[in-house]
Structure 1
């Protein structure tokens, strides 16, 4: 998902490629077959095709795009996994479905007429939710003639465990009143509008069809 100006991000980059020096006390050892890497966490100030500018501890750092190995968007504030589960359950319960049950920590919802993905997808909300239950999840949706779609909140479930390369990303933001709202990751205009309206990023979720 494309981070926006003002977002908190972590950038992993190759040292010696025009980026900042390694600020860590114990940097990665240099290896003969790969460059030494470092990372930088801060607020995204500027993004272009050539560089990213981040603010960290009151100072700005510039990282060339060519040196970047990975870029990850972070929650605006420190968020516990329990808080992600709570917000996810609130959003799910606010999306009525024709049928909904909970199995081994998975909330399974089915509704062929639904426009909200939470009303027609499986979400791992319980502590026991893991990939071992996926065969049961698939069977439940197959019995209803529905595709198996997984809505995976960050930190609650590893997308790699689904054997999928990617999916549709959403942001979950918290508004000034404390109410959560979900927005499509590709809807840059709406994401900017919500930030301007003082909504802050709580976590992200990815919708994957198996």
Structure 2
């Protein structure tokens, strides 16, 4: 097995386990403070569309982690929906519609265009969490392991995509990696006493 293949499978392993820390924290505490529902809806879009993209380019290391990651993304959406009194079908409908749209783009316009347009859910998944980290009165529901793991995962995918090469994956990894850096830094700032900014009155 080549070094690139090993790197790809390492990225796959970290991607597969990405949502597990947050799902476990939610299951144990039922605390959703600071957790972004929108971010996890975008995560579901990413899991499903990158599974499809991996199939199209014949990369099993992209297919398996994203398909398996659904098993942690869905429980998070279910638990957050219950905690906030939301109907699950209303929570799942937008990401499923977005998934179908992006798969259509990948099939008709190719990898580079798909990767560029995939910046919307990719940045949305990270920036959605960024907004809640900045504005939420408390961030106790957010798993720091999840945030750090996300940064590691994007670094691995970006390196792999550069070496393969796959422009679609590289575009997304660089952009989302930068937002992941912000999320880790801001979570640390909040835990060390920084107050919520731009919070709306409840």
The TM-score, its normalising length taken from structure 2, stands at: 0.25
**Would you tell me which structure has more strand in proportion to its own residues?**
1
The TM-score, its normalising length taken from structure 1, stands at: 0.24
Larger Rg: 1
Q: Which of the pair has the greater relative contact order for Cα pairs under 8 Å at 6+ separation? A: 2
